A and B are shown apart, each in its own frame.
Chain A
């Protein structure tokens, strides 16, 4: 099993550009999450989903959109990237209210 796979692993964007981060899990988990981690800090929740077709805002949702069209995929979109969105992005999934499994992260730099 691959677990949680994030694509891409690295990306550099120019201010104002858009992009989509893909998270895929093969564990048939109901819940999926997107977190961001800034240098020297813990992870902060951006958006989450409790099932196919559902999404909800987390702690820091501004500037991001998400979609969960298929149970195994959770997409994070940046419509107009800003330097403040330079961060490492982690996707995670959990069966329900159980321990979470995290991907390896996407390092995004906005210049």
Chain B
């Protein structure tokens, strides 16, 4: 699976959009970009994933660049409860991947009042 690079920490004001970047310059054509978050040592929580098109769900939006070498997770209106570690994970779908996830260090997002 491709390696990802994320900033170690970011700050965001409550009510503003939080834009979390992820670099995955070695991504291959059949690899998806997944985002999970972990709130205060709870179990990680799935947020969103995508292959090459931008994706949106009730939690967030995922913007993937045309060359797929980087992506941005957008939390449109951050709240204090969005303070967490955010993990960007790139992995194959199908084959022998079996849903396995390789976690990096992630980005610590702190939302402040």
Q: Which residues of A contact B (CB under 8 A)?
A: 4, 31, 33, 35, 40-45, 48, 50, 56, 58-59, 88, 90, 92, 94, 96-105
Contacts and interface: CB of A to CB of B under 8 A. Distances in A.
Interface string B43-63: 111100100000000000000
Given A92-B43, A100-B46, A102-B43, A43 B101 contact: yes
Interface residues of B, number: 21
Nearest to B103: A42
Interface string B77-113: 0000000000100000110011111111110000000
Q: Choose among A4, A40, A97 the residue with the greatest number of B CB atoms under 10 Å from its CB.
A: A97
Q: Kindly list the 4 A-B residue pairs having the minimum CB-CB distance in the complex, ordered from nearest.
A: A42-B103, A102-B43, A99-B46, A94-B99
Contacts of A33: 99-101
B64 to A, nearest CB: 17
Interface of B: 34, 41-46, 49, 87, 93-94, 97-106
Given A42-B87, A43-B44, A100 B99 contact: yes
Contacts of B101: 33, 35, 43, 45, 100
5 contacts: A4-B43, A42-B106, A50-B98, A56-B98, A104-B43
A36 to B, nearest CB: 11
